[in-house]
Structure 1
Amino acid sequence: AFSNPLKVEGTVEEYLTDTVTNMQGTLKDLTRDCAADLDTMMLDKFVKSFPSQTCVVGIQLLWTTGVQDSIAKAKTDRNAMPQMNKRAGVTLQSLISMASYGGPSYLERTGIEALIVTQQHLVDTAQELTTQKVRSLHEFEWLKNLRVYWDEDKDNCNTCIADVSLTHDYEFLGCTERLVITPMTNRCWISLTQAVHMFMGFSVVGPQGGGKAETV
């Protein structure tokens, strides 16, 4: 349901424009609530309390904050990143258990599977950062990754990669399946965000079924 009731009135163009605006506002409200509840809500309750696409943003917010804190501590605490890896792995195993047991509905299972794909990528990335002994938030090995933040001052969700920061558009995606995120996907994200940042166009080329549309 929308955060604010929508009156069906006016011309079709006006009504549809109001629908899109209301939808984006509702998703922004949900993302804000999600960011606020991340640290206090149990994982199973969290997954059931928010839409799938909001949960995907939520676990990325949690991962970004956790890895940043661990990298900042890594200079004095060599166990900071390994402990972060362990927490990320526990989250992944919990999601797998939720999908395997308890008889979730088809819609719930689809949402959980999307979270598993995303979390697996985050686990792999954290492990790579640990192996490469990243000790600074200014190192490219950290900056090249997709990072998600909630900006309290601007009351908005920002997606960052390399030196580019883009404001979340809160476009409705629904509860959909996700393809596996590969190193090639990450390289595409870097190229695409750089193109958008420089007000340039881009075109993703590849075989059918390779995930071009989803990557964009």
Structure 2
Amino acid sequence: MRCTVRKEIQEAVGAYEDKPRDQWLFDYPAQVSLTGSQVWWATDVGIAFERVEEGFETALKDYNKKQITQLNSLIHMLLGDLSPGDRQKIMTICTIDVHARDVVGSLITQKVTNGQAFAWLSQLRHRWDEETGHCCVHICDAQFQFSYEYLGNTNRLVITPLTDR
């Protein structure tokens, strides 16, 4: 089971850029889509920080606009006809995306311009490590290998500043 979840996440992360996200997420089970989205969120924020350092001052704001567009696309899908499983998957991804949008908005408000700032490092960040072929989870200076345990397609708690702490 864990080998299958790992293989699916690896495939999903690799295929993320092959099609629009709102189509990509239907190609994979909920847990895989959610984890892949989290990997790409951390990757995209990292790319935005690199662009800021290259002189593109609005890179983080541009990414935040992309997040809002992606979130609006998911909300539009929720208003349509979906199977119960797909509806649950999209609602779960929406919940995590709202938090991700809020984090990036906070980084912008705090004028964070570097991926080494505590405001960014203190976030739970997923990364796919090509060398080891594993998903790694980072927070502050801690790094863990994703366990690939089956979580299913369940509700997620809304992440508030209090739960974030």
Q: TM-score, normalised by structure 1?
A: 0.74
Instruction: Note the residue ranges of structure 2 that are not aligned, 5 or more in a row.
Output: none
Structure 1 segment 204-215 matched on structure 2, within 5 A = none
Residue 32 of structure 2 corresponds to residue 73 of structure 1 = no
Residue 179 (structure 1) aligned to one of 149, 157, 160: 157
2-structure distance, mates of 1:44, 1:134: 29
The equivalent of 1:37 in structure 2 is 15
Q: Deviations over 1:58-98 (max 9, x none)?
A: 11111111111111221311111110000111111111111
Residue 135 of structure 2 corresponds to residue 142 of structure 1 = no
The equivalent of 1:92 in structure 2 is 71
Instruction: Note the residue ranges of structure 1 that are not aligned, 5 or more in a row.
Output: 1-22, 188-216
2-structure distance, mates of 1:166, 1:151: 12
Structure (1 or 2) with the larger CA radius of gyration: 1
More deviation, 67-76/50-59: 67-76
**Corresponding residue SS for 1:39:** helix
Q: Deviations over 1:99-149 (max 9, x none)?
A: 111x10111101110000000000000111111111212111110011110
Letter of the 1:121 partner, please give it: H
Residue 83 (structure 1) aligned to one of 62, 66, 69: 62
C-alpha deviation, 1:43, in angstroms = 2.1
2-structure distance, mates of 1:144, 1:157: 18
* Regions of 4+ moved over 6 Å: none
The equivalent of 1:46 in structure 2 is 24
Letter of the 1:94 partner, please give it: S
What CA RMSD, in Å, does the superposition of the two structures yield over aligned residues? 1.0
Q: Point out which structure has higher relative CO (alpha carbons under 8 A, 6+ apart).
A: 2
How many residues matched? 164
Residue 35 (structure 2) aligned to one of 54, 57, 79: 57
The equivalent of 1:119 in structure 2 is 97
The equivalent of 1:201 in structure 2 is none
Letter of the 2:59 partner, please give it: A
Identity rate, percent: 32
2-structure distance, mates of 1:122, 1:32: 21
2-structure distance, mates of 1:82, 1:42: 20
